[in-house]
Structures are given as C-alpha cells and as structure tokens.
Amino acid sequence: MNIVAEKKTVIEKFSDVRDESVIRMIKDILDHSFPILPNDPMHALSYAPEKIEVNNRLYLLNYPIRCLFEKQGDHFLIKNELLDIYAVGSSESEAESDFSEEFDYLYQRLTSTADVALSDQFVTIKQLLGYFVKEVKHAA
C-alpha cells in the first residue's frame, strides 16, 4: 500500500469523527505538520519509493521497495534489510536522500561488477535489484 492509499484508508476510518480538535490533529499527522515518528523504538512507519531520482538518474521501479522508516533519538533511519541498504538523516528528507544515494551506489556498483567477483550475498542482491528496477533513465 503506498502513502496515498494509506492516507485514504486513514481518512475513511476517521470519517465519522466530529470533534474539530481531533480532526485537526489527524490532518496535521497526515500533512506531516509535526514529527510523526515518536522516539519509541516500537513505533515505525513504512517507506516505499516507487521511483528513485538521484545523481542525474531516474530509477523506474517495477515494485515499491518496502523499507522500515523509524526515528532513533535525533535521527531518522530508513532500512531495507533485503537489499542491505541503511540510510540516516537528521530529518525525514535527509534520510530519504541518503537512501537514494545508497541505492544508486549499490545499483551502479553491482551492475558494473561481474558475478564471479561478488560474494553470494551480493549476487543475490544484484538479482533482486534486477527485479525491482524496470528502467534507468539518464538526465540529458
């Protein structure tokens, strides 16, 4: 489920709410008007980009890359253990940017390296990247 669908589901669940303060709080959460990730490690959100734009490249994906998005102390962490990508930032947008950089580095490095020069783990990650990435467009 992508962010738009998740927002629609939340809105539908709270459509019967009549208390204006509760409505404002829900709207603030959905609009990210204040940090929505508590410091409690038991709370996390999902991050699932459907395309990644970085370093003059646009990665068009076959499937969203499902990642865990959590707040740890003063930092935001995005991780996808399947692809072995971990990104950190002092804000949500910094973490997302770092994820894009890490994804680009991993993709470029693995796709330019012969399988015989890679560990079994990286050969598997390279194959997974091939399933996720539909096309890479380069900026002019």
> For 27-80, what is each residue's pLDDT tens digit?
655 555 444 445 555 556 788 999 999 999 999 999 899 999 988 888 999 999
pTM metric for this prediction: 0.69
Pick from 47, 37, 86: nearest CA to 69? 47
Supply φ then ψ for residue 101, to 5 degrees: -60, -45
The Cα-based distances of 83 to 62, 65, 69, 95 in angstroms read: 15, 9, 15, 16
> For 103-127, what is each residue's pLDDT tens digit?
999 999 999 999 999 999 999 999 9
Pick from 25, 24, 32, 40: nearest CA to 3? 32
In a 10 Å sphere around its CB, with 0-12 CB exposed, 13-18 middle and 19+ buried, how is residue 21 labelled?
exposed
Measured distance between the N- and C-terminal CA atoms of the chain, rounded to whole angstroms: 33
